[in-house]
Structure 1
Amino acid sequence: MLKNCTHIIQSALKSDIISIQTSFYFILPIIGLLLVHFISKYIFKREVEHAISSILSSLSRKNGLIKQVKIYFPLITAPITVGFGGSVGLLGPAVASGAALSSSISTLFHVNSKNRVLFIGCAAAGAIAAVFKSPLAGLVFAVEVFSLDLTLASLLPLLLASVSSIITSYFFLGDEVLFRFEVIEKFDIMDTPFYIILGIATAIASIYFTKMYFIIQRFFNRFSTALQKLVIGGIAIGIMLYFIPPLYGEGLGFINNLLRGDHLTALGKTPFDEHINNIWIVIALIAGITVFKAIAMTTTLAAGGNGGIFIPTMVMGSALGTVVSKIINNLGIGFQVSEANFTLLGMAGLIAGVLHAPLTSIFLIAEITTSYELFVPLMITTAISFIISKNKIEHTIYTQELAEKGHLLTHDKDQTVLTLMNLEGCIETNFITVQPDHTLKHLLSEAVAKSNRNIFPVIDSSNVLIGIVSLNTIREIMFDNSLYHTTTVDMLMTPVITYIDYEQDNANSAMRKFQDTGAWNLPVIKNEKYYGFISKSKLLTAYRRKLINFTR
């Protein structure tokens, strides 16, 4: 549906029915973004979300529960975004739609939260496998990106999802594939230094890609209204499309032309056509795509478009691989490398660096080429790209925001269990509160005598926590009648230094606070008001139960 809807829109815009010259392509992104904006605001009444990030957030904070509207929301808004020239991919929306469908099915059959995560992983594996006809890449992508445990219990469903999606793809599309390429030039040990150079180049490009994404997102966050973002983003995309036509849409045709060695068709009609016979001008133009694809993609998303980053990453990588190979071949140093092979290796390097998914990139390119001839170069390039980029930028575009909030699921079981835990079930609210002007007699008769607790929160008239009275503190004076009316609670309480913020803290940060303070009970603040207490024993018990359920 995504592919065909996008194709219909693009064909209509290029046909005689809607006759728009290439020079006027700059107006199309604004129209597309306007359509997405009105559909999102007035029909679906929801904002466009980043596909993979929103799925990861649902897994960590909502036990994998995704609203049904997300099944068809991407199927409508993503083709409009890409069809009208938005420089994003369709793979992310495909995964998002499939994940929402999987979540709905799991809810229908009352599947537990652990298996619901596997359902959503199967949707991701199926989407990758169907788009690229690469079952192993789909399986590995689900494991790397969604932090699934690769056990026999998860391996079989993932394989079945990948295989069934490929069969479905063949049923509707035949043997049509995104990239049709056969490796002709084999691995040459003498080219190893160039693979290392490409690995370093893709690592630098990956770091640039990620940093540029967050820089542009922060820039657009300055605008107060969605229409401001839309107009500014649409104009920026249109200008880039005018000078660099290959930035239009996903860019799959650009990759295929590079793989065929047809760089003139890949570049299309540009304002620099009179200089196109100069190979260094060609290299500069392709390098421009490497630089501006990240800008065009992020601008499209920040302006309100719907799409993914996987395909744009591949486009940028293919351009970079071609640039590196052409520079090597035209420097006059006596070396000739395969430009098509470097185009593929560049894609793999960017996927490994930007998405931190080296295994996905290796198996994807191997399956695209239906050959393992490039396995050694792939391992060299992706390993270098991943190591450098991971060392420089710990989290990906998908995971950065979740990691900052402490909501990121990882392959670390302890960390994942803490992330999945809900603090609400650990909070105890049956503590008797007192006020600072209450006397010792009131404290003893109305709180101590009626409670089985040994701590008493002190609140003011606005229910703001200002201190805590411990039974150990008053034990020595609680039977001294002479102090009953002269001693007040504010003279006995201790100030609150450490507390758990209901909105900001999670189980992981709460556990860290217990460890740092050595406390056995910590107060919980909700909306700046006193809410209750969490005890270390309650938290550890909840952790143990969650761990048992998670590892079954």
Structure 2
Amino acid sequence: TSYVVYVNLIGHESVIPFLNDPLNRVGLNIKELSIASSEKVVWFEVSDLADLFTTVQVNDVFGAILLGIFAGLGGRSMAWMVRWAKTQSRTDHFVRRVLLGGAALAGLAFASDLLFDAPLTIGPGFQAMDWVVNPSNGLGLIALLFGLRMAATIVTLAAGGVGGLFIPLAVQGVVLGQFTGQLLGSDRPGLYPTLGLAAFLGAGYRAPISAVMFVAESTGGSFVVPALVAAAVSQLVAGKSSVAEHQHSVRLGHLERRFTLPVTSALDTDVMTVPPDATVAEFMYLHVLGRRERSVAVVDGSLYLGMISLTEVSTIERSAWDDTTVGSLLSEEQPSARPGWSLRDTVVAMEKADVDVLAVTDAEGAFIGMISADDILKLDEILDETGG
């Protein structure tokens, strides 16, 4: 995929050193270097490495700095939107989410077809890159394509679409690079799209070295120095943001690692529930006094209806316990966790609802089990792990 992208960037007359000639790596032609007596050793002089820097122009370095700033800001924005979209994909109403997402993608494709004579917002992006490297395209249309493709990626993720982000980030980088190159009036075809790919991909995934090595092997080393500058600047601007939610800049502590576990790691499925037609007196005597349970799930058959606790019971008089059902005391908003959540998602939901216990249900509302803040934290395990 990487080499196909490079062909699209440079044009039909491009030469891909590593693909066309495996002995040519990062601008060093091994066949032309002196070979020692042992065929396993390749000798070369400092002057051979100088070829990597002789084609570097001062304007390219300043352009790479500007592109790195753009890519860092773009990568930071896209990382935030990707995290938001993944949060939306975990919400209920699967059918409505898919229908709205499909309609939005169709609208973006229709708008793209009107603007660019092709639905450039859908597909892997090769057609979009072919279009964007055409020097006759204006800056406004290039900027619009950048926004439309980013919107299409976010809509897909928010609707629950499955797929990687490598190619979307790479295409965004190519579009941004071409925009910067035309903005600066560059006359070097393929330079800025390639630098944009490295800078945006490195900023989005927090992987600058991998992105620069891609440029090195694809271009024979001629763009290495500007790519290093663009990738370094984009890293500084992007900060700790990443489109990968499990990527961390530092080693996590025991509690932080625990929050990344799935909700099923602390789920208790062996719990007692109460039917909605049970009286408050039965709840108080059987569960609160008999089992020391502060909150109990109200379940009708397998359908979860809500949570009954002492907070709801405190709103009625003691004399009304025998005549009041627990189902009549349930509030309209009953938060619940999903099996696909992490423990961090569960803690956030508990804080928003101001509760320390949540029911876990499937997408249809069927009751699965309970999870409590005490089970999530497990203070005794944390103290043993940290030596406290």
How far apart, CA to CA, are the structure 1 residues paired with 2:242 and 2:365? 31
**1:320 Cα shift?**
3.4
How far apart, CA to CA, are the structure 2 residues paired with 1:512 and 1:228? 29
2:199 aligns with: 349
Q: Secondary structure at the match of 1:322?
A: helix
How far apart, CA to CA, are the structure 1 residues paired with 2:67 and 2:173? 15
1:196 aligns with: 65
How far apart, CA to CA, are the structure 1 residues paired with 2:55 and 2:277? 81
Contact 2:212 2:228 in 1 (8 A): yes
**1:309 Cα shift?**
1.8
**1:419 Cα shift?**
3.0
1:457 to 290, 296, 302: 296
C-alpha spacing 1:497/1:435, structure 2 compared with 1 (3 Å): closer
How far apart, CA to CA, are the structure 1 residues paired with 2:278 and 2:239? 56
- The CA RMSD over aligned residues, in Å, is 6.3
How far apart, CA to CA, are the structure 1 residues paired with 2:293 and 2:76? 54
Deviations 1:64-98 (A, max 9, x none): xxxxxxxxxxxxxxxxxx9xxxx9xxxxxxxxxxx
C-alpha spacing 1:382/1:434, structure 2 compared with 1 (3 Å): same
C-alpha spacing 1:226/1:324, structure 2 compared with 1 (3 Å): closer
1:285 to 137, 142, 150: 137
More contact order relative to length (CA 8 Å, sep ≥ 6)? 2
Q: Does 1:382 align with 2:223?
A: no
How far apart, CA to CA, are the structure 1 residues paired with 2:380 and 2:57? 53
C-alpha spacing 1:291/1:382, structure 2 compared with 1 (3 Å): same
2:336 maps to amino acid: D
Percent identity for Structure 1 against Structure 2: 10
How far apart, CA to CA, are the structure 1 residues paired with 2:353 and 2:151? 45
1:538 aligns with: 375
C-alpha spacing 1:542/1:201, structure 2 compared with 1 (3 Å): same
Contact 2:170 2:197 in 1 (8 A): no
**1:381 Cα shift?**
2.0
**1:508 Cα shift?**
1.0
Deviations 1:431-452 (A, max 9, x none): 2537686374x56775578x54
1:237 aligns with: 113
Q: Secondary structure at the match of 1:309?
A: helix
Q: Does 1:501 align with 2:336?
A: yes
Contact 1:250 1:311 in 2 (8 A): no
How far apart, CA to CA, are the structure 1 residues paired with 2:176 and 2:284? 72
Where do residues 387-426 of structure 1 align in structure 2 (5 Å cutoff)? 387-389=236-238, 394=241, 396=243, 408-411=245-248, 413=252, 415=256, 417-423=258-264, 426=267
2:232 maps to amino acid: A
Where do residues 78-117 of structure 1 align in structure 2 (5 Å cutoff)? none
**1:499 Cα shift?**
7.2
**1:426 Cα shift?**
1.7
TM-score by length of 1: 0.40
Structure 2's unaligned 5+ residue stretches are: 9-15, 29-50, 86-96
1:364 aligns with: 214
Q: Secondary structure at the match of 2:371?
A: strand
How far apart, CA to CA, are the structure 2 residues paired with 1:383 and 1:356? 11
Q: Does 1:524 align with 2:359?
A: yes
C-alpha spacing 1:419/1:378, structure 2 compared with 1 (3 Å): same
How far apart, CA to CA, are the structure 2 residues paired with 1:339 and 1:543? 62
How far apart, CA to CA, are the structure 1 residues paired with 2:310 and 2:344? 27
Q: Secondary structure at the match of 1:464?
A: strand
2:171 maps to amino acid: P
**1:366 Cα shift?**
2.8
2:185 to 301, 308, 326: 326
**1:534 Cα shift?**
2.5
2:168 aligns with: 309
2:181 maps to amino acid: T
Contact 2:268 2:371 in 1 (8 A): yes
**1:387 Cα shift?**
3.6
**How many corresponding residue pairs?**
319
Q: Secondary structure at the match of 1:533?
A: strand
2:13 aligns with: none
Contact 1:202 1:320 in 2 (8 A): no
C-alpha spacing 1:358/1:431, structure 2 compared with 1 (3 Å): same
How far apart, CA to CA, are the structure 1 residues paired with 2:128 and 2:366? 54
Contact 1:468 1:494 in 2 (8 A): no
Structure 1's unaligned 5+ residue stretches are: 8-81, 88-130, 134-169, 216-220, 259-265, 268-281, 330-337, 400-407, 474-482
**1:468 Cα shift?**
1.9
Deviations 1:251-287 (A, max 9, x none): 69969xx9xxxxxxx63xxxxxxxxxxxxxx5x6364
Larger fraction in helix: 1
How far apart, CA to CA, are the structure 2 residues paired with 1:486 and 1:348? 69
1:233 maps to amino acid: A
